[in-house]
Each structure stands twice: as C-alpha cells, then as structure tokens.
Amino acid sequence: MSTQVDYYELLECERTADAGTIKSSYRKLAMKYHPDKNSGCKDSESKFKAVSEAYDCLKDPQKRAAYDRFGHAAFQNGGGGQQSQGFGDFGDIFESVFGEFMGGGQRGGGRTAARRGADLRYDMEVTLDEAYHGKATEITVDVSAPCDTCDGSGARPGTRAKTCQHCGGHGKVRAQQGFFVVERACPVCAGAGQVIADPCPDCRGEGRVEKTKTLSVNVPPGVDEGTRIRLTGEGEAGARGSPAGDLYIFLHVAKHRLFEREGTTLFARAPVSFTVAALGGSLSIPGLDGQNHEVKIPAGIQSGKQLRQRGAGMPVLQGRGHGDLVIQIDVETPTRLSLRQKELLEAFRETETGDECPASQGFFAKLKGVFAAE
C-alpha cells in the first residue's frame, strides 16, 4: 500500500479525535474489511492492511505525535542521506531538545524508552446520595491487555526478539541532510531496538490483545461533578511488555429532586404559607445524612430569605467536616380560600395601619414623592 495516504482519512477520523474515537472507528473498519468476511477480495485485503497500519500508528501517543508533526516522513529514513555517527555538538543539542519527543532513550546511544500504553477514559454517573456517602462498585471495560500466550513479549513461545540490525539496537537512527542532522525512531523496529522474526500467532507480535476486564472502583465521599479517579496501570497495555497506561474515571453527579449543590453547600427551596411566614414556625428537612434537620422560621420572614444549617451539607472530599445546608424560603400566597377565611382576612385588612408591611409602605411613599415632584 502507499504510505502517502493520510492515516486520519483512512480511519475516517478528524485529526482532533481522541483515542477512544480512533479505536472505535478502527474496529468498525477492520470488521468491514477483514479477509475472513471478504474471502478472495484483494481490494478489501488491501484496505484492511491500510487501516491496520494507520491504527498501529495513531493508537501510540508517541507515534501519533511524530506523525502529526512530520507526517509519513517521521517513519522513513528520509532525505537519501546515510546514517551518521558522531555529529558533535549539533547532534548533542538536537538530541537534548528532541530526544524525548522522538521516543527518549539513553544519551549517546541506547534503546529508546519503552512505549507506554495509552491512558483511557471512563465516564461514570453517581447519585447525589452516592456522592455524599461514597460507594464501592465494579465497572467493565474493553481494553488491550498483555497476551497470555507470549507473556506480552510478542514473540512466538519458545522464541525471542532479536536486536534490530538497522539501528543496532539503539531504537533510533540519524541521517544528515545538508547541514542538518535528523534523528528519528528506527523505521524497522519502530523505536523498540528489537525485531520479532517469529511473531506470536495470538497477538501478531504486538504483545497485547483485546480483553474485557472487571475493575473495582472506590468512590470516596464528597466527590463532585468532574472529579477524576485514576486507576494506575489499568489503561491500554504497552506494546511488547512495556508499561500500561492509566484508566481515568470521570464522575458525573445526577440531579437530585430536592437539593442543588455548589461545592460543599447544599441548596433547597421551601415553600411556606403566608401565615407561617407572618407568625413564624419551623420546617423539618430530610438531609442526605439520613437525619431530619429542624429549621426555625422567624416571624415576619420574607420570600427569598435564606436560612443556613451549619454542617448539614456535603462532606469535604478527602478532608474533614461538612459544608452547610441553605434553605431558601418561598412565601406562598393562598389561591383557595373558604368563605370563613376570606371573612377573617377582610377583618384583618380593616385593622391594617401600614406599619405591618414597612417595605410596601415605603414603596408607595416613594411613588407619591415622584409624582408630587412632577
């Protein structure tokens, strides 16, 4: 196949696509063009090899970074220049600046750093009650894991990898192009420093296969929207025995029917009758801690007033103490009155002097002043 076909175009992905999107697209295309499903079709076989090559590059963070910057040239011994040794100060400077980007490795020669597996993301929804108390649960993820047949080496059992003759086991090559020295990962061993002549039949030399894993997750009390939990080493397995990446669990807190949350503070709206607002009273609010919290309502409270219960809010994540519970009072005007109730209210209105509601009295006094000034 021509190596000039854009890998992102082959996988039908945007260049900004995340690892999960790239993996999902590869699986769909690999299933579509797999030789077992298209027996004898050379075009399908060619496309299968093409998408496999593209995915092999883009699933590896280091290879993808190199490809995004240099394109296909990142994996070619380009320029027609011969491999060079001992480039002096300029080569040392180039290595110190770009060595980590091109795969690391020991200074002055030596195999490039192990290709660590990619980190993965898992989204989990929890209720507000679970965010308050915490919980232990299990999740199931599809992830690449070390191949059991070859113990992650990538080589057929009974054989082993050999030193790459192209780079001498260094995992990287240098080529001089005019006055410039270019160093890149070895195109033969892809920076591993070794090649596998007889690959494992189960993992095809990758040292990893797709598996479904069940993992235990401990959600601590006090988590909030966007809290991340890291499971070290539970991401994608590294190629040929390299370290695995991590799995990041992003938490999303579902809406609660009563409470809203802001940090460790819980908010709730409580409608009260106008008689309770005028005469005072109390409310009993069931908290997430399983207790009923008595809220005293002072006489004459106005709609929108907030009452605070200290320590009745959310627990502090990985700390001590709790936030507060804030109750906002909404005074409800009655809409269904009996004849007797109307009579009592009429009698009350006849006794009003205006001092009962100073805010209303002050407002109408301002209006009179405005019109009098005109």
pLDDT, tens only, 260-317: 999 999 999 999 999 999 999 999 999 999 999 999 999 999 999 999 999 999 999 9
Give the C-alpha separation, 261 to 240, whole Å.
47
Q: Which domains, and CATH codes, for the chain? A: 1-59 (1.10.287.110), 60-253 (2.60.260.20), 260-373 (2.60.260.20)
Residues whose CB falls within 8 Å of the CB of residue 369, separated by 6 or more in sequence, listed in order: none
For position 95, what pLDDT does the model report?
Answer: 41
Instruction: Evaluate if residue 44 carries a pLDDT over 50.
Output: yes
Instruction: Give the three-class secondary structure for 156.
Output: coil
Instruction: Evaluate if residue 40 carries a pLDDT over 50.
Output: yes
For position 232, what pLDDT does the model report?
Answer: 93
For position 362, what pLDDT does the model report?
Answer: 62
Mean pLDDT across the chain? 82
Identify the residue with better confidence: 38 or 145: 145
Count of helices and strands (H, E) across the chain: 9, 15
What is the longest distance spanned by two Cα atoms in the chain?
Answer: 106
Of 25-39, 224-238, 262-276, the one with minimum mean pLDDT is: 25-39
For position 371, what pLDDT does the model report?
Answer: 56
Q: State the binding site.
A: 147, 150, 164, 167, 186, 189, 200, 203
Residue 163 contacts residue 193 (beta carbons within 8 Å)? yes
Give the C-alpha separation, 186 to 354, whole Å.
90
Identify the residue with better confidence: 17 or 107: 17
Sheet with 265-273, side-by-side order of all strands: 260-262, 265-273, 325-332, 306-309
Band (87; pLDDT cuts 50, 70, 90): very low
Q: How far is CA 322 from CA 83, 161, 256, 286, 289, in A?
A: 65, 57, 18, 16, 11
For position 368, what pLDDT does the model report?
Answer: 63
Q: With residue 307 as reference, give the H or E element that holds it.
A: strand 306-309
Q: With residue 211 as reference, give the H or E element that holds it.
A: strand 208-219
For position 239, what pLDDT does the model report?
Answer: 79
For position 85, what pLDDT does the model report?
Answer: 36
pLDDT tens digits, 171-204: 888 876 666 778 888 888 877 788 888 888 988 8
pLDDT tens digits, 131-151: 999 999 999 999 889 999 998
- Neighbouring C-beta atoms of residue 148, cutoff 10 Å: 11
For position 275, what pLDDT does the model report?
Answer: 92
Instruction: Give the three-class secondary structure for 332.
Output: strand
Residues whose CB falls within 8 Å of the CB of residue 266, separated by 6 or more in sequence, listed in order: 259, 260, 288, 312, 313, 314, 323, 324, 325, 326
Per-residue pLDDT, averaged over 87-106, amounts to: 39
Instruction: Evaluate if residue 163 carries a pLDDT over 70.
Output: yes
Q: State the binding site for Zn(2+).
A: 147, 150, 164, 167, 186, 189, 200, 203
For position 32, what pLDDT does the model report?
Answer: 85
State percent of the chain over pLDDT 70: 83
Identify the residue with better confidence: 110 or 327: 327
Give the C-alpha separation, 262 to 146, whole Å.
43
Q: Which amino acid is at 23?
A: K
Band (94; pLDDT cuts 50, 70, 90): very low
Per-residue pLDDT, averaged over 202-216, amounts to: 89
Place of tokens 């009655």: 334
Residue 269 contacts residue 181 (beta carbons within 8 Å)? no
Residues whose CB falls within 8 Å of the CB of residue 165, separated by 6 or more in sequence, listed in order: 188, 195
Band (70; pLDDT cuts 50, 70, 90): confident
pLDDT tens digits, 239-266: 777 888 999 999 999 999 999 999 999 9
SS3 sequence of 213-280: EEEEEEECCCCCCCCEEEECCCCCCCHHHCCCCCEEEEEEECCCCCCEEECCEEEEEEEEEHHHHHHC
Closest by CA position to 288, among listed 271, 313, 263: 313
Per-residue pLDDT, averaged over 198-226, amounts to: 91
For position 177, what pLDDT does the model report?
Answer: 65
Instruction: Evaluate if residue 110 carries a pLDDT over 60.
Output: no
Give the C-alpha separation, 182 to 66, whole Å.
13
